[in-house]
Amino acid sequence: MSVTAEDSVVIKNIYYMMAYAFNALDLQDYASLRHERFDNLADLMAAILAIGISAQRKRGLERGYQEIEENLQTVRGRIDMRETARNRMAQCTDIACVYDDFNEDTYKNRILKTTALLLVSSADVSKQRREDLKRSVMAMGGIGQVDPLRVEWSALRYHRNNAGYRLLMNVCYMVLHDLLLTTESGEVKLAEFNDSQKLHALYENFVLAYFKREHPDLNASAKVIDRGASEGAPEFLPKLCTDITLERDGRMLIIDTKCYGKILTTHHDKEMLSPANLNQIQSYVMHAAYGTQCDVSGMLLYALTDRDAALHETWQELDHTFSCYTLDLGQEFAGIAAQLDAIAGLVAPDNGS
Cα 337 to Cα 75, 214, 305, 343: the distances in Å are 62, 9, 17, 10
Shared domain check, 158 and 21:
yes
Within 10 angstroms of residue 348's Cβ, the number of other Cβ atoms is 18
Per-residue pLDDT reduced to its tens digit, 226-258: 888 888 888 888 889 999 999 999 999 999 998
305 found inside a domain: yes
pLDDT score of 200: 78
Domain count, the chain: 3
pLDDT score of 1: 40
Poorest-confidence range of 79-88, 96-105, 173-182, 233-242?
A: 173-182
Q: What letter does residue 22 receive in the DSSP assignment?
A: T
The boundaries of the domain holding residue 144 are 5-62+108-194
CB 41 within 8 A of CB 11: yes
d(CA 340, CA 215): 10
Per-residue pLDDT reduced to its tens digit, 121-145: 888 888 988 999 999 888 888 899 9
140-151 burial, b if ≥16 CB within 10 A, otherwise e? beebebbebeeb
Looking at residues 98-102, what average pLDDT do you find?
A: 81
Shared domain check, 183 and 82:
no
123 found inside a domain: yes
Shared domain check, 134 and 254:
no
Which residues, other chains included, contact 293 with Cβ-Cβ below 8 Å and sequence gap of 6+?
250
Looking at residues 284-288, what average pLDDT do you find?
A: 94
352 found inside a domain: no
353 found inside a domain: no
What's the one-letter identity of residue 154?
Answer: S
40 found inside a domain: yes
Q: Are strands 295-304 and 312-317 parallel, antiparallel or unpaired?
A: unpaired
Q: How far is CA 29 from the centre of its chain?
A: 19
Shared domain check, 311 and 253:
yes
pLDDT score of 34: 72
Which of helix, strand or coil describes residue 98? strand
What's the one-letter identity of residue 189?
Answer: K
Shared domain check, 205 and 114:
no
Shared domain check, 214 and 77:
no
pLDDT score of 298: 96
Shared domain check, 122 and 73:
no
Question: Which is more confident, 173 or 245?
Answer: 245
Looking at residues 108-121, what average pLDDT do you find?
A: 93
How large a percentage of the chain has pLDDT more than 90?
Answer: 33
Shared domain check, 162 and 40:
yes
Shared domain check, 316 and 181:
no
Query: Phi-psi category of 254—alpha, beta or left, where left has phi over 0 and alpha has psi -120 to 50?
Result: beta
pLDDT score of 3: 44
Out of 194, 210, 233, a domain closes at: 194
Shared domain check, 246 and 204:
yes
pLDDT score of 197: 55
Q: Are strands 320-328 and 295-304 parallel, antiparallel or unpaired?
A: parallel
